[in-house]
Chains A and B, each alone.
Chain A
Amino acid sequence: MKAPDTMTCEEVARQLWAYIDGELTPELNDRVRAHLEDCARCYPRYDFHQAFLIFLGMHAEQPAPPGLRRKVWEQILREHERGEREDD
Chain B
Amino acid sequence: MNPDHPPDAAANKAGFVEEALAHLDRVYSFALRLTRGNSDEADDLVQETFLRAYRSWETYARGTNARAWLFRICRNTFLRQQEQRRRRPESGAAELNGQTEARTAPVSAFDQVHALDPEKRFFASFVDDEVMRAVDGLPREFREAVALSDLEELSYGEIAEVLEVPLGTVKSRIYRGRQLLQEALVAYALEMGYLKQPKGTA
Contact = CB atoms under 8 A, between A and B. Distances in A.
B30 to A, nearest CB: 9
A13 to B, nearest CB: 9
A59 B150 CA distance: 10
A17 B54 CA distance: 36
Interface residues of B, number: 43
A63 interface: yes
B151 A17 contact: no
B66 interface: no
B123 A51 contact: yes
B131 to A, nearest CB: 4
Contacts of A71: 43, 47
A32 to B, nearest CB: 14
A68 B44 CA distance: 9
A49 B149 CA distance: 14
Contact of A55 (B114, B123, B149, B153): B123
Interface string A1-40: 0000000000000100110010100000000000000000
B43 A79 contact: no
Contacts of B16: 76
A18 B47 contact: no
Interface in B168-193: 171, 174-175, 178, 181-182
Given A62-B32, A75-B47, A56 B150 contact: yes
B115 to A, nearest CB: 11
Interface of A: 14, 17-18, 21, 23, 44-45, 48-49, 51-53, 55-57, 59-65, 68-69, 71-73, 75-76, 79-80, 83-84, 87
